[in-house]
Amino acid sequence: MTNYILEADASAADVIIMPVLEDKGLETAAKKLDKEFGSALSAVMSAEDFTGKKMQQSLVYTRDAKRPRVLLSGLGSKKELTVRRYKQVLGAAVIAVQSKKSQRIAVVIPETVLSAFGPYRAAKETAAAIEIGGYSYDEYRKPEARVLPLKAVAVTAAFDNRSKTQLIKGLADGALVGQAVNYTRHLGNTPPTVLTPTYLARAAAKLAQENPGLKVKVLSRPEIKKLGMGCLLGVSQGSAQEPKFIVLEYRQGNKKDPPLVLVGKGITFDSGGISLKPAGYLNDMKFDMLGAATVLGVMKALAALKAKKNVVGLIPSCENMPDGAAYRPDDILTAMDGTTVHVSNTDAEGRLILADALCYATRFEPKEVLDFATLTGHCRIALGSDRSGLFSDEENIVQKLTAAAETVGEQLWRLPLGEEYSEAIKSEVADIDNGGPSGDPRAGASHGAAFLQHFVKYPWAHIDMSCCYYTAKGKPWIRQGANGFGVETMVEYLRG
């Protein structure tokens, strides 16, 4: 675990990361560098080898034996400074210094960042960005090929007695949130031969064991059948792995307050079932449980932060496989609330298992329910790979979620619900159809959301994560694999 300390000046470190703005940020940085290291670093700027453009980096060697290297990292223009950009620049810098085998680093928080975000927010997002940037899933690689984890981070900032307290608190909270994001990422990156529904249930149980504020209950096939969760049972039929329904409760708020319920899709591998995916689309289907991993990451963060909230996490989990017992197109399944569902596509399985979870959520008399799911490829077609789709008729929830995402540097984009989508999922042989309008690929994300909406009787929002849940090749600020989307947004939403 990385150790964070706050200092007025950078202490002994393998490398100092100094984010620098264009414009007057260069002049300010140059003066600071002249004062601490002589003219060697500011000369790099005056020669225009480094101008502070976004993501520009320059590693400069000093004459200081205790602080031998400084990595100048460009933030771009001040008017374009956002939390998202700041965190990307820091993440890229961390990855760069790790490539130099650095494990003890110092990070300078510019005064412009402190002013723009406030001491607590600046420190929190700094620590979160460092944690997320430093993570690598490489445990199956040879030891010499693995990324060396950071051991110590000295954070340098200008502060007085009041801001010092906020900075220290921000660093501590940001590290915990970043670790929760990486926990989610690690679950998502784990191979599906290992991460089965049973493994996911054990991970939830371990999380509860490590955090006394959490309680867990795991339902197996007999209990699931007794509850009438016919959709979850139907999807799981083709797999040798037993389905699990995981219930996590965190009740540290006022006992009279109804809980917020989080629901996460937990398909630990999705072959498409009998409606088998084409070969190229089978890769990365281990990530189809990232909705579930997001819920677990949020619960981990809340417990670590000792948040005074009442939150319930629900995770329906199984594999979607195509053996001789698998559910078929034209089967009719019965959800927990008695709704009958005609199956026109076994690769539209996520909405089926979520339907039973949304029905189960009713027993908690929730304040509101938010679900997270890698639900539709249609959402990725609509939005690309940097925003997730947000569906809800609750204006207050939409506004709060959008604001929370922006605050932490994640991105949501509202997509439509409406009568036309609800009508389109009606079936001639059952109550509703899981595939939407037969043969019509248009508005698939909204049809999926409308299917889920059929089962809700409370304030609700659905986040379709299919757009931005992982990076196939990595980006300068985050390595390849699951990116932990949604954890930071939900922690901000719940605490805000």
- Name the residues annotated as catalytic: 277, 351
Strand bridging mode 214-219 / 244-251: antiparallel
Separation of CA 147 from chain center: 22
Burial of 368 (0-12, 13-18, 19+ CB in 10 A): buried
List, in order, residues 6 or more apart from 193 with CB less than 8 Å away: none
> Is 210 labelled as part of a ligand binding site?
no
> Is 371 labelled as part of a ligand binding site?
no
In the 8-state DSSP scheme, what is residue 331?
-
The three-state secondary structure class of 56 is: coil
Helix (H) or strand (E) holding 292: helix 290-305
CB atoms within 10 A of CB 495: 15
> Is 265 labelled as part of a ligand binding site?
yes
Give CA separation, 314 vs 260, 265, 295, 364, 378, in Å: 11, 9, 8, 11, 25
> Is 349 labelled as part of a ligand binding site?
yes
How far is it, in rounded angstroms, from Cα 199 to Cα 367?
30
User: Please, are residues 232 and 220 in contact by the beta-carbon 8 Å criterion?
Assistant: no
Look at the chain and count its residues. Answer: 496
- At residue 352, φ and ψ (nearest 5 deg) are -70, -50
User: Please, are residues 237 and 221 in contact by the beta-carbon 8 Å criterion?
Assistant: no
Orientation of helix 290-305 relative to helix 487-495, angle to 10°: 40
User: Please, are residues 188 and 471 in contact by the beta-carbon 8 Å criterion?
Assistant: no
> Is 288 labelled as part of a ligand binding site?
yes
Residues in the annotated binding site for Mn(2+): 265, 270, 288, 347, 349
Residues in the annotated binding site: 265, 270, 288, 347, 349
